[in-house]
Structure 1
Amino acid sequence: MFRKAVLAIFVASILGGCASVPMESKEASAQAKRFEVPADGNAGLYVYRDSIVGQALKKDIWVNDDCLGESASGVFFYRQLPGDEKYTISTESEFSPNSLSLLLERGKNYFVRQYIKLGVFVGGADLEVVEPEKAKTNISKLELAKSGTCSGPLKDPADSNASDSKKPA
C-alpha cells in the first residue's frame, strides 16, 4: 500500500502542478513573438517548453556555458547571438546534461524545443530542433521568461564519472 502511495505521489509530481519562473513583460513577450529578422550579423535563438508532462519541474538551459534560464512549462526564451558560429544548447536532465550543437547563420531564427521525459527518479529533459512554422505556432501560445537565472552551474558529464578520491595537495 505504501509503495502505491509513493508511486501515486511521484506520478502526480511529474504530471501535475505548475512550476513558475521569473517572466518578462507582456510587451517584451509580444515583441519576441513577432519573429523578426535578427539584428545585422546576428542569429536569433528561441528555446521553448510546451510539454504537458513535468509541469511541476523547472530545468536549466545553457547556450555554450552561459545560463539562458530556468524553464517551466508554457515559457520560451529568445536571445540574439553572433551569427555564423556554432553553439551548444544544453539542458539539465536526471543524471547529466543533454545537449545539441547548431551552426547559427546570421539573419536567421532557430527554434529548439525542450521537452520532459520520464526518468528513474525525476523527469529528465531533452532538446530537439523544430521547423520554424511549427515552432512559431507553439511559441505564440507561450510567454517569454526572463533570461539569466539558473539553479546551478552547468554540470560537466565527465564529473559524474569521476571518483570521490581527493587530489593530492
Structure 2
Amino acid sequence: MKFAGSALVAGVAMFVSGCATVPMTSKELSAQAKRFDAPPAGQSGMYIYRDSNIGGAIKKDIWIDGECLGESAPQVFFYKSVDGDKEHVISTESEFSPNQISIFTKSGTNYFVRQYIKIGVFVGGADLEVVPTEQGASAVQELSLAQSGNCSK
C-alpha cells in the first residue's frame, strides 16, 4: 500500500515539475520569428506553442497535415509557413490517440495554436486550441523557437 501511494506522489510530482528539453534554434531565428512578419505570397504562418510548465517532464509530438513539425516541451514554439487558402490538420499525440484540429488558413495571415497538457489516466495527454492573434503573439514573445522535424515516432 505504501508503494502505491509513493508511486502516485512521484507520478504527480513528475507531471507538474521536471524539465523536458528539445533541440532549439538560435536566438536570432527565434527573434526573427517573433517579428510576426506577413508570410510569403500564397502562404499562411502557423505558430504552435506550449506556454505552460504543467507536465514539464512530458514531450509531445506535433504534426501538420501528417508531417512532423516537432516534439514540444514547456516554453517553446514552432513556426511553419503553410499553403494559404487551404484547410490544414494540426495534431498532437495524447494519452490514447492523437488529438487534432482543422484550420482553414487565409493567405497572408498568421495563426496561433496553443498546445496544452492535461491530466491523463496513466500519463499526461495533450490537446490543441486556436487562440486569437493578440493572445498567441503575446504568449510566443515569452517563448523560445524549437527546431522542427524532431518527433519521437
TM > 0.5:
yes
What is the aligned partner in structure 1 of residue 36 from structure 2?
35
TM-score of the pair, normalised by structure 1: 0.89
What is the aligned partner in structure 2 of residue 66 from structure 1?
67
Q: Which sections of structure 2, spanning at least 5 residues, go unmatched?
A: none
What is the aligned partner in structure 1 of residue 117 from structure 2?
116
TM-score of the pair, normalised by structure 2: 0.98
User: For 1:47-102, what per-residue CA distance to the aligned partner results, in whole angstroms no more than 9, with x for missing partners?
Assistant: 00011210100000000110000000000000001100110000000000000000
Residue 69 of structure 1 aligns with an amino acid whose one-letter code is G
Task: Tell me the secondary structure at the aligned position of residue 9 of structure 1.
Answer: helix
Residue 99 of structure 2 aligns with an amino acid whose one-letter code is N
Q: Distance in 2 between matches of 1:81 and 1:100?
A: 15
User: For 1:100-158, what per-residue CA distance to the aligned partner results, in whole angstroms no more than 9, with x for missing partners?
Assistant: 00001100000000000000000000000011101111110000000011000xxxxxx
Residue 137 of structure 1 aligns with an amino acid whose one-letter code is S
Q: Distance in 2 between matches of 1:46 and 1:111?
A: 5
- Compare CA radii of gyration and give the structure with the larger one: 1
Q: Distance in 2 between matches of 1:83 and 1:64?
A: 13
The size of the alignment, in residue pairs, is: 152
Q: Distance in 2 between matches of 1:51 and 1:125?
A: 12
What is the aligned partner in structure 1 of residue 24 from structure 2?
23
What is the aligned partner in structure 2 of residue 163 from structure 1?
none
Q: Distance in 1 between matches of 2:23 and 2:53?
A: 20
**Structure 1 ranges of 4+ moved more than 6 A:** none
Residue 115 of structure 1 aligns with an amino acid whose one-letter code is Y
Q: Which sections of structure 1, spanning at least 5 residues, go unmatched?
A: 153-169
Q: Distance in 2 between matches of 1:24 and 1:91?
A: 21
Q: Distance in 2 between matches of 1:76 and 1:142?
A: 6
Give the % identical residues: 58
Q: Distance in 1 between matches of 2:52 and 2:4?
A: 27
